[in-house]
Amino acid sequence: MCQVFIIMDLGLSIVFVVKYRRKAISAEILTRLKDIFAENLLKWDCQLLEFNGESDHVHLLIEYKPDKNLSVLSANLKTVSSRLIRKEYPDLAKKYFYGKPHFWTGSYFVATCGGVTVEQLKKYVENQATPSKETLSR
């Protein structure tokens, strides 16, 4: 990314974990989450470079601009995705979260991509075990 007198290449690896570490993410939900995150990041003038996850957490690799407040961005990503997933899959709350309006834990993990190439991170994210279609039936 290049602006006047500034050249930036900031990558962040973000992990969001499902509340109570429930295995609530099916292959269908994982695909929907990818779309939600990609669309929302564009509104923040950021880009989703890579995305994958397992049945209880997701990994996002994003291109990030330093003028964005990371804690606000992360909170927004979690809030928007949680709201949309709960709306589109209303049975999740009953099955996994005691009927309460939850999806993600209150915390998250974030690391810069320093010391590791973006290609290495992409490979790591791509190699995450993708949940099977039977995840929700458990």
- Superfamily holding 8-137: Transposase IS200-like (3.30.70.1290)
Instruction: Compute, in degrees rounded to 10, the torsion defined by CA atoms 93, 99, 100, 104.
Output: -30
Buried-state track 104-115, b at ≥16 Cβ within 10 A, e below 16: beeebebeebee
| Cα(16)–Cα(87) distance, integer angstroms | 19
Residue by residue, pLDDT tens for the chain (138 residues) are 556 666 677 889 999 999 999 999 999 999 999 999 999 999 999 999 999 999 999 999 999 888 999 999 999 999 999 999 999 999 998 899 988 899 999 999 999 876 667 777 778 777 877 776 655 455
- What tokens does 121 get? 């991170």
Q: Residue 113: its pLDDT value, please?
A: 79
Q: Distances in Å between the alpha carbon of 135 and those of 14, 17, 25?
A: 23, 16, 7
DSSP 62: E
DSSP 89: -
Q: Residue 37: its pLDDT value, please?
A: 99
Which residue type occupies 138?
A: R
pTM: 0.81
User: Domains of the chain: which residue ranges?
Assistant: 8-137
| Cα(38)–Cα(10) distance, integer angstroms | 17
Q: Residue 136: its pLDDT value, please?
A: 47
